[in-house]
Structures are given as structure tokens and as C-alpha cells.
Amino acid sequence: MLKNFTFFFLVLIGFILAGCKKINPPEEIPSYLFIPYATFATDSVNQGTMLHDFTDVWVFKGDEFIGCYPTGSRVPVLAEGNTVIKMRAGIKNAGVASLRSIYTLTQFYETTINLKRGQIDTLIPVFEYFSGISFLRMESFSNPGTIFTPTPSSDTFLVNYPGTGSEALDGQGNCGFVYLDQTYQVFEVQTGSSIPYQIQGRVCYLEIQCKTNSDLFVSVSDGANDVRLCGTIYDTEGRWKKIYIPLTDNLNTFPTLYNFYLILRATRLADKPDPRIYIDNIKVIRQ
């Protein structure tokens, strides 16, 4: 009897162990992609600067989304052999870390790579704008005058700061500059001519590079005193930053809109008595 019980017990344990193996199968060993940074290719004449701030990459295995990873990450991929890898450029909308998204004006980067499990392959994606998008306005401050004009609210001007100056963006020539003090306390400019926007719903972004010790407000207007705030550029702590500000949602709130104006505004505040704002490489782009 004891022998039969022992035999039955051992058989039962065997079934349990076999079941555990089925419930907890061996984990797959992934292959890895190391993405140190992303690059950007543009037609400098028609699309402006190639300077960018793609902080993330959105990674796909074929059409299967793997995840969003900051550049400099090691990405695990459950695959081996020749594998199609696709990536989208990732940005922080309005420079806000919690508002990460795909930059939908740029194309997929796609390549095929021979993956090996447990091995790390380095991949540096090269992103480009979609063909056919519209560059509605561009300003690099390389020529006399700008696309902006002061509004009646402004008591100061946007001036050209020389590219040889210590505050200019390296290698980019002149930039725009605003300084506020006790005499000049309000800066506000808008595009001198209206920007066409005949097709509502199309993705529209402002790209701007900025170095500021104060807040710079970005708005759109229908030209009839209806102004919608799209984003705020905060103190960049002594550094030039590329900012991507989505305009689409605010443009689509106007009942009917065929043209709009882009507005930049800053004011002198008690806690920030000497605002200094530098801007460059402005692009208004629509899908």
C-alpha cells in the first residue's frame, strides 16, 4: 500500500512540474538595438535648417509597435534574422516632457537588419519631412527685415542680432533679439501678412529655436482680435532649444478660417526685470 501511495505521489509531482513548465515557458532572449541619437536631413533652401530636437524614437518591428524610447536607449526586440525595423521621430510638444508624441510631419525611417539574439546592433535613424508638406512661413533672420511686424500693444521691436555675437546660435548667422526693461515692457509681434489655412484639420506646427530667460507666448489669431494661445516657451536656462508647438487644435477651433496670423508676445515682470529673448529658424509648416 505504501509503495502504491509513493508511486502515485511521484507521478502527481511529475504532472505538477510539467504543468509549471507549460505555464512558465522559458523566456525568449531578445536581440538589441542601440540608438545613440537621431539625425535629420532637409533641403536647406526649401525646408530650412536641419537642426532638430528629436528626443525619442518610436520603434516598430515591421508594423508591430515595440515602444517609445529616448535616444541613447538600448531597445529589446524579440526577433532574429533579417528583420524590418521602422522608426518615427519623437518630440516634446511645446517642450513639455509629459507631452511626448510622434512628429507627424516626418516620415518613417525604415531599414532591414540581421538581428542575433543577445547581440547589440547600433542604429542611427535619418529622418526627413514628408514630401508635399507646405512651408507656410520661414524666417532665419539672414536678410534685412523679418516676416514679423509689431502690434499696437508692443512698445519695442524685434531686431537682428549679429551671427558673430556671443549669444547667436552657432553656425546659423543672425538671429532675432528682444530686450525689455523699465522703458520697454511689452513685446508683441505678428506675421506681417496672413498665413493661408484653407484646409481645416491638417496638421500644422511652429518650429522655433529659442534662448530666453523669460516666458515667450505663442498664439494664433484670425485677424479679428480673436487670439488663441498655443504654447509657452519657458526659461531655457542659458541654452538654445528647439521647440515644436502644435497649432492644429487651436486653428480648428475657429468656426471658419481661411487665413491666420502667428503672434509672439513677452512682457516684463517684477520677478524677471530684464527679459532677453533670442529666436531663430522659425518655420510654420502644414501637412
Residue 230 belongs to a domain with what CATH number? 2.60.120.200
Q: What is the mean pLDDT of residues 118-124?
A: 97
In this prediction, residue 225 carries a pLDDT of: 79
Residues 120 and 167 in one domain: no
Domain boundary among 128, 143, 169: 128
Residues 190 and 158 sit within 8 Å (Cβ to Cβ): no
Residue-wise pLDDT for 193-239, tens only, equals 999 987 667 899 999 999 999 999 999 999 887 899 999 999 999 99
- Sign, CA dihedral 258-189-231-41, equals positive
Whether 15 is covered by a domain: the verdict is no
The reply to whether 248 falls in a domain is yes
Residues 281 and 196 in one domain: yes
Q: What is the pLDDT of residue 2?
A: 44
Q: List pLDDT tens digits, range 137-187.
A: 999 999 888 999 999 999 999 999 999 999 999 999 999 999 999 999 999
In whole angstroms, what separates CA 64 from the centre of its chain? 22
Q: Write the CB contacts of 156 (distance below 8 Å, at least 6 apart in sequence).
A: 150, 178, 179, 180, 184, 186, 187
Tell me which residue range forms the domain holding 139: 134-286
- pLDDT band (50, 70, 90) for residue 240: very high
CATH number for the domain that contains residue 109: 2.60.40
Q: Which amino acid would we find at residue 2?
A: L
Mean pLDDT on 255-261: 87
Q: Do 238 and 172 have their domain in common?
A: yes
Average pLDDT over residues 59-84: 97
Cβ atoms of residues 214 and 266 within 8 Å: yes
Residue 9, pLDDT > 50, answer: no
What average pLDDT does range 238-264 have in this prediction? 92
Q: Does 89 share its domain with 155? A: no
> Strand, coil or helix: what is 198?
coil
Return the DSSP state at 23: H
Q: Domain check: are 92 and 38 in the same one? A: yes
Extract the C-alpha cell encoding 95: 517642450
What mean pLDDT is reported for the chain?
90
Is the pLDDT confidence value at 74 over 90?
Answer: yes
Q: Please check whether residue 77 is in contact with residue 33, taking contact to mean a CB–CB distance below 8 angstroms.
A: yes
Range list of H helices, 132-265: 248-251
Tell me: do 84 and 143 sit in the same domain: no
Same domain assignment for residues 95 and 145: no
Q: How confident is the model at residue 261 (pLDDT cuts 50, 70, 90)?
A: very high
Q: Do 186 and 224 have their domain in common? A: yes
Identify whether 152 is part of a domain. Answer: yes
DSSP state string for 30-72? PEEEEE---EEE--HHHH--------EEEEEETTEEEEEEETT
Residue type present at position 269? L
Of the pLDDT bands very low, low, confident and very high (cuts 50, 70, 90), residue 23 is low
> Does 156 share its domain with 281?
yes
* pTM check: above 0.75: yes
Claim to verify: residue 179 and residue 114 sit in the same structural domain: no
pLDDT (0 to 100) of residue 25: 61
Is there a single domain that holds both residue 157 and residue 91? Answer: no
Residue 16 lies inside a defined structural domain of this protein: no
Residue 10 included in any domain? no
Cell 482680435 -> residue: 225
Q: Which residues contact 240 (CB under 8 A, 6 or more apart)?
A: 169, 209, 210, 211, 278, 280
* Domain's final residue, options 128, 147, 182: 128
The type of residue at 160 is N
Q: How far is CA 16 from CA 8, 19, 22, 27, in A?
A: 12, 5, 10, 20
